[in-house]
Amino acid sequence: MKRYKRRLYVILSFILCLSVVDPISATTISELRQEVKKNQSQLKNAQQKADEAQEAQEGVEEEMEEIDAELVNLITDINLCEEAINDKEEEIYRTQLDYDAAVAEKDEQYASMKIRIQFMYEKGDSSYLHMFFGAGNMGDMVNKAKYVEELYDYDRKLLTEYEDTVKRVQELWDTLEEDKSELETSKTELQEGQAYMEELLAQKKEEYENYSVMLTKAKQEAATYTARIKQETAQIRKLEEEERKRREEEERKRKEEEERRRKEQEALLADGDADSEEAPKKQETPEPTSSGGGKGQDIANYACKFIGNPYVAGGTSLTNGADCSGFVMSVYKNFGINLPRSSYSQSTVGKGVSYSDARPGDVIYYGGHVGIYIGNGQIVHASTERTGIKITSATYRNIVTVRRIV
How crowded is residue 373: how many other Cβ atoms within 10 Å of its Cβ? 29
DSSP for residue 136: S
> 317: closest CA among 301, 296, 334?
334
Q: Is 285 exposed, middle or buried (0-12, 13-18, 19+ CB in 10 A)?
A: exposed
Apex 373 CA angle, 368 and 378, nearest 5:
100
Q: Which residues are catalytic?
A: 324, 369, 381
With b for 16 or more beta-carbon neighbours within 10 A and e for fewer, the 26-37 pattern comes to: eeebeebbebbb
Please, are residues 379 and 372 in contact by the beta-carbon 8 Å criterion? yes
Handedness of CA 9, 14, 20, 23 (dihedral sign): positive
Q: Residues, the chain, total? A: 406
Distance separating the N- and C-terminal Cα atoms of the chain: 64
